[in-house]
Amino acid sequence: MRWVSFAIIYVNVADLKPGFNPLFLREEDLRQGVELLFFAYREFVEEADQVLARSGLGRAHHRALYFIGRHPEITVSELLSLLRVTKQSLSRVLGELSKQGLISQKPGLRDRRRRQLTLTERGAEIEHEVTQRQIGCLARAYRQAGAEAVGGFRKVLTGLMAGDARLRFATQGSDDDMRQSPPAGDGS
């Protein structure tokens, strides 16, 4: 007996191009989407990985540097909540970043048990170089795809996110808002 699976995804008909069936996507269409994500991510991180490797860093270090840079004085527990990693894993990454002089940690003003994280000048330089590579990659893809595709791409990505991450983008109107708004968390 052979099983055939179908995935039915409802879409806004107004967003579709002529000739596209709005009632469902075949499994093959969805599998192709999975492959597109894999290959796009590989290209997106390739140059960034090379920059990170020069400093003995990896992707986990970059994620921490990126979000500490986006949210200066973010607490360790806010970063834990944002990254969804274990305390042990984040502790290892932060220890390595601190040892290399890329981040600084200081006690919170109101609660000294809460450690606030900031990038050092060297940490900011590395984060900026890596992120600029990724921004360049994204900008090239956006230019090739066109303005309408950028909106669709954002809708697809936010559709892939879990509720808390999706809410983060739904409640923020501009990039400036995102830079200033710290992630939800109970601090520490």
Considering the domain boundaries, does residue 39 fall inside one? Answer: no
Query: Tens digit of pLDDT for each residue in 135-183?
Result: 999 999 999 999 999 999 988 898 888 877 788 777 655 444 333 444 4
Q: Per-residue pLDDT averaged across 4-15, rounded?
A: 46
Q: Do 120 and 102 contact (CB within 8 A), yes or no?
A: yes
The H or E element that residue 117 is part of is: strand 115-119
The percent of residues above 70 in pLDDT, for the chain, comes to 76
Structure tokens that stand for 80 in this block: 């834990």
Burial label for 60, CB within 10 Å (0-12, 13-18, 19+), is: middle
Considering the domain boundaries, does residue 105 fall inside one? Answer: yes
Q: Output the furthest CA–CA distance in the chain (Å, rounded).
A: 66
Considering the domain boundaries, does residue 57 fall inside one? Answer: yes
Considering the domain boundaries, does residue 33 fall inside one? Answer: no
Q: For residues 44 and 47, what is the distance between their CA atoms, to the nearest angstrom?
A: 7
Considering the domain boundaries, does residue 3 fall inside one? Answer: no
Total number of domains constituting the chain: 1
pLDDT at 103: 97
Considering the domain boundaries, does residue 138 fall inside one? Answer: yes
Strand ranges in 4-126 using DSSP code E only, listed in sequence order = 74-75, 103-107, 115-119
Q: For residues 114 and 112, what is the distance between their CA atoms, to the nearest angstrom?
A: 5
- Going by pLDDT thresholds of 50, 70 and 90, the confidence category of residue 44 is very high
Considering the domain boundaries, does residue 4 fall inside one? Answer: no
Residue 111's domain spans which residues?
44-180
Considering the domain boundaries, does residue 2 fall inside one? Answer: no
pLDDT at 177: 39
Q: pLDDT at residue 121 above 70?
A: yes
CATH number of the domain bearing residue 130:
1.10.10.10
